[in-house]
Every structure is written in C-alpha cells, then in structure tokens.
Structure 1
Amino acid sequence: MEPFLGMIGEGFLWAMGLIGLNADLMSRYGLRFLEGVWVTLQLVGLSIVFGAVLALPLAIARVEGGKVLSRAAFTYSYFFRGTPLLAQTFLIYYGAGQFREQLTDIGLWWFFRDAFNCAVFTFTLNTAAYQSEILRGGIQTLPAGQMEAAQALGLSRVLAYRKIILPQAIAVGLRPLGNELVLMIKASAIASVITVYDLMGVTRLAFSRSYDMEVYLWAAVLYLVMVEIVRRVWNVLERRLNRHLLVSR
C-alpha cells in the first residue's frame, strides 16, 4: 500500500503544483491527505457492506414480519433516520466509555475503545436504516402476483425472495442506493470529531499546524473526486444491471 500511495502522492503533488497551490504545504501534507482518503474509503466501504447485510432482514421484516417484527424494524429505521448522525456517533463513542466494565467483562471493550471501530459501527447502523427503506420500497413496488406465481411453481418464500423478488428490488433501488453511498462519503467527515484521521481528520490536523485555509480546498477537491468516481461507476453499473429495461423500451 505504501508504494502505491507514494506513486499517487507524487502525481498529486505535481498536479497541485501546476495549478499554483502551495508547494511547501503540499510536500508536508500531501501524502497524509492520501492516507486520509484511504481511511475514508475503508470507513465508507465497511459501513456500506455491513449496512447492506443488516438492511436485508430489516427490509423483509418490514414487509413480512407481522405486527411485532414490522414495528420493531420501523422503530429502528425511524430512530436512525430521524436523529443526526453526529449525535449517534457521540452516543456510541462516548457512551461506550460509560459501560467500560461491562464491555470488558464480555470481551468487547477492545472494539469500542477504538475510534475507527466506533465510527464503522455507528455508520453501519445508520446506513442500514436507509438501505432497508430503499429495499422495502423496491419490494413493495413489485406486483404481489410474482410471489404467488413463484409459490405456485413450488418455490418456498425464501427461494422466491432470493431468486425473484430481491434481484428486482435491488434493480429498482439501484439509483437511491447510489445516492446513499454518495451521502455516506460526505457524511464520513463526521468521524473526524472522534479523532479518526480520515480525510477531514487529516485536514483539521494540517490546518491546526499551518493555519492555511488552502488545506480545506484540497479536502473539498478530494471529496468531489471520490463522489464523481462513484457517480460514474454507478452509472455504468446501473446501465448494465438494467439493460433489459432499456431494450424493452
């Protein structure tokens, strides 16, 4: 990873120098910014993947769970979608310290004492709520006759979901899922307030030592680059996964 960051760093420094940015500042903090980008990508990537795993049972519980499970899933979604991510991050990170003895007894304090782990955990819970609602919406837009037809062919509800319902629901929700990924990239800056040295954390550190507002310009440009890459990749993914819809038109 270090040689890779080194090569990117040299190109980054050269490009920034061409547009007239502070070369001395770039030489001191350029590589740190790239390391911050890597931490941001790890944070967002892990949160999105784990959130997707959690979102699936939540979405199905909303549709199929009956009164108890459906209301429990709704309450979860309502809380994490209705409260600020910053408050949730503080609640997990600082709140865990209030239960240090109990967490130590059950062998979990090693996880919650690390700021990065707390950020991933909080972001996972938050994005799972949004992803579950996107999946639920995708499932409920499909005709009920599809499940009935699948059961008439002898498929169980589990197999019908895996083979028929979920692939279509994901295709329907692909665009809002991409928007959620973009929002998570931008929201990841919140992790810097609990001492995670992601892109924004490195930016704050660089500013505290240099008092040069230019570092925030770099951060804005790097966030914009990440979002633009995701947007372009998602457009290609959406065209490929939904190409049958384009053909039918």
Structure 2
Amino acid sequence: MNFGWIVTYADLLLWGAGQTLLLLVISVGLGFPLAIGIALLRLGQNRVLARLADGYCTFLRGTPLLVQLWLLYYGVGSLLPMVPGLRGSILWPLLSQGFFFAALSFTLNYAAYEAEVIRGALRSVPRGEIEAARAFGMPPGMVTRRIWLPRALRTALPVIAGGVVLQLKATPLAFSVTVMDLYAVAYKVRQDTLLVYEPLLVVSLFFVVVAILINRIFRRIEAQVPIRR
C-alpha cells in the first residue's frame, strides 16, 4: 500500500471533503423542512394538494437519483442559457455550475424519502394526544407545531438518522456532473498515480467517520429528548 500521495493531494482532498459535506448539509438542511411540508400536505384535507404531494414522492422515490440528477443537469441546465438575460445576471455563476444541480437534485430526492418517514410518524401519534390538545382550545396550527409534529419527530429520530447517512452515501453521484467532491478527487488521484485501492480506502474511511459522527449526534439528541410511550 502506498499512501505517500496524500501529502501531495492534501489541499485537494480537503476541498473535496468540504464539497461532500456541503452537499450533505444543503440537501438535509433544505430537504428536511420541505419533507415536513410535503408530509403535512399528504395528510391534509385538500385532496388536490395531497395528490400532488403523493405524486411528487412517488416519482422521486421511484426513479434513480442519478437519473434525476442528469435530467436536471443535462436537461434543465442545457435550457437555461436560452433564457433571455440570464447569462448576464448575478445568478449565472451559480446556475452554470454542476454543484447547483447536484444540491438541488439531492435536496428534492431527500425530501421525498423523508416525507414518507415523517408521514408514517405523524400517523403513529396517538389520537388521544391530539384530541386533548384540541380540548384545551389550541387552534390546528398550534396543535401541529407544539404537539403533533414534535411527537412524530421524536418517534422518527432513528429513521431520520439513517436517512442522513444514506444521503451522505449518495453524494459521490455529484462526480458525474463535474463536482469536485471527495470521490472526484479520488478519481483524479487514480488517474495521476495509477493507484486504485488507496484513494478509495481514504474515501471509505472518511464516509465511515462522518457516518459515525452523524449517528452519535442523533443518539445524543434522542438521549436529551426521550420518546414518551
């Protein structure tokens, strides 16, 4: 085994690790609130919005993430230059990068999966707790914010933690749209040095360490906010 290349590529490795973590933070940070909204729509009284939310989850959960990423990058991305005035706008440096499309597709996909988790957790909340809150005169919005949703999220914490880890493991797909994430750096090292296993081992170790940290964070949250039974 030869790991002498790590010193030479240290800066690039750090950049790639930062890009990987940034994709994870963006997709989870934006996707989770979106997932909550979608889950509430699916359980709401408005049938049209509920059907639209169902269709959203069905499509994104039923198609490969790589296909969704390519549809956005090679499909929508190829049409953006045709929008009048967009190339000269301040948004173009962002919209012309693969990172934007990777973050967008990861966010939308994560929201679809987590919406299903949250929907199940919301349905598992005992009706008695919700009815008791209503009996105290709480309006529907307050019941959702203070009783229904917090109770459901406490129940779903272990599954949510697993979803974040799965999202972490999906980030190497960004390499396919020119994002220089950690896997892309490993690919470059392989091309430059003809080393195959060593770069992949470094990437694997990074993902294992981050997954362990994610699990520890969620376990600490579970310990501080115990689930009432």
- Looking at structure 2, the residues matched to 22 and 191 of structure 1 have their Cα atoms a distance apart, in angstroms, of 25
Aligned to 1:70: 50
CA–CA distance in structure 2, aligned partners of residues 196 and 158 of structure 1: 41
For the residues of structure 1 that align with 2:11 and 2:212, how far apart are their CA atoms?
A: 21
Alignment of 1:229 with 2:210, yes or no, is: no
Q: Is the 8 A contact 1:138 1:169 kept in 2?
A: yes
Offset of residue 30 of structure 1: 2.6
Q: Is the 8 A contact 1:89 1:119 kept in 2?
A: yes
CA spacing shift, 1:195–1:169, aligned 2, 3 Å: same
Which residue is 1:5 aligned to? Answer: none
Rounded Cα–Cα distance in structure 1 between residues aligned with 2:125 and 2:111: 21
Task: Compare the two structures and name the one with the higher helix fraction.
Answer: 1
Q: Structure 1 residues 227, 143: closer, same or farther in 2, change over 3 A? A: same
Corresponding residue number in structure 2 for 1:189: 172
Which residue matches 2:24? 44
Identical amino acids, percent of aligned pairs: 32
Structure 2: distance between partners of 1:241 and 1:21 = 46
Matched residues in 2 for 1:146 and 1:139: separation? 12
> Any idea what SS the aligned residue of 1:119 has?
helix
Q: Secondary structure at the match of 1:99?
A: helix
> Greater CA deviation, 125-134 or 60-69?
60-69
Residues 102 and 148 of structure 1: CA distance in aligned 2, closer, same or farther (over 3 Å): farther
Give distance in 2, aligned partners of 1:153 and 1:171: 22
TM-align CA RMSD: 1.8
Aligned match for 2:155, one of 172, 182, 195: 172
Q: Structure 1 76/149 Cα, relative in aligned 2: closer, same or farther at 3 Å? A: same
Distance 1:163 1:118, change over 3 A: same
Q: Which has the larger displacement, 72-81 or 223-232?
A: 223-232
**Aligned-pair distance for 1:154?**
1.3
Deviation at residue 84 of structure 1 after TM alignment: 0.5
> Letter of the aligned partner of 2:48 in structure 1?
V
Instruction: Provide Cα deviations, 1:115-165, integer angstroms capped at 9, x if missing partner.
Output: 111111110000001111111111100122322222221111111100111
Aligned pair 1:205/2:188, yes or no?
A: yes
Question: By how many angstroms is 1:76 displaced?
Answer: 0.3
How far apart are residue 101 of structure 1 and its match?
4.4
- For 1:101 and 1:34, the matched residues in 2 are separated by 32
**Which of 137, 145, 149 is residue 120 of structure 2 equivalent to?**
137
Query: In the alignment, is the contact (CA less than 8 A) between 1:80 and 1:129 conserved in 2?
Result: yes
Q: Distance in 2 between matches of 1:103 and 1:54?
A: 27
Gaps of 5+ in 1: 1-19
* Greater RCO structure (CA 8 Å; 6+ sep): 2
Aligned-residue offset at 1:205: 1.3
Count of paired positions: 225
Name stretches of at least 5 consecutive residues in structure 2 with no aligned partner: none
1:46-104 alpha-carbon deviations (Å, 9 max, x no partner) = 11010012112101001114321111111000111111010011011111233224545
The answer as to 2:3 corresponding to 1:22 is: yes
Distance in 2 between residues matched to 1:203 and 1:37, nearest whole Å: 11
- The TM-score, its normalising length taken from structure 1, stands at 0.84
